[in-house]
Amino acid sequence: GENVEQHPSTLSVQEGDSAVIKCTYSDSASNYFPWYKQELGKGPQLIIDIRSNVGEKKDQRIAVTLNKTAKHFSLHITETQPEDSAVYFCAASIYGQNFVFGPGTRLSVLP
């Protein structure tokens, strides 16, 4: 079955710097890759997603890139702010069926 790895497990950046979180997946049939943000005491919230027919997608300060050949995708957050501090999860699925999640990255944005 699908396996998703995520790195780093923790990440600290200064406010205003960029943050990058990387995920790799094992099943070449996976074609949908969402990213979720989880704040303390809350459920994960979808922040951006990408499908395998697209190499990059942006939404304001957030972008996701996908390299199908290497089977990895990355989340990029620019101009980080304290409210970006949270746990971020990547996931992979085949046609949106039953996501497999990475173990998460705890991002801390230091003022």
Residues of this chain that bind other proteins (CB under 8 A): 1, 6, 32, 34, 36, 41-46, 49, 89, 95-99, 101-104
Instruction: Report in angstroms how near the CB of residue 17 gets to other proteins at its nearest.
Output: 25
Instruction: Report in angstroms how near the CB of residue 90 gets to other proteins at its nearest.
Output: 9
Q: What span, in angstroms and rounded, lies between the C-alpha atoms of 50 and 66?
A: 8
Q: What span, in angstroms and rounded, lies between the C-alpha atoms of 29 and 31?
A: 6
**Residue 104 structure tokens:** 């998460």
State the CB neighbour count (10 A cutoff) for residue 66. Answer: 21
Nearer of residues 15 and 51 to other proteins, judged by Cβ: 51
Nearer of residues 34 and 86 to other proteins, judged by Cβ: 34
Cα dist from 105 to 6, 55, 66, 75, 85, whole Å: 7, 22, 18, 11, 10
Instruction: Report in angstroms how near the CB of residue 5 gets to other proteins at its nearest.
Output: 10
Nearer of residues 51 and 79 to other proteins, judged by Cβ: 51
Whether 25 and 93 have beta carbons less than 8 Å apart is answered as no
Instruction: Report in angstroms how near the CB of residue 70 gets to other proteins at its nearest.
Output: 21
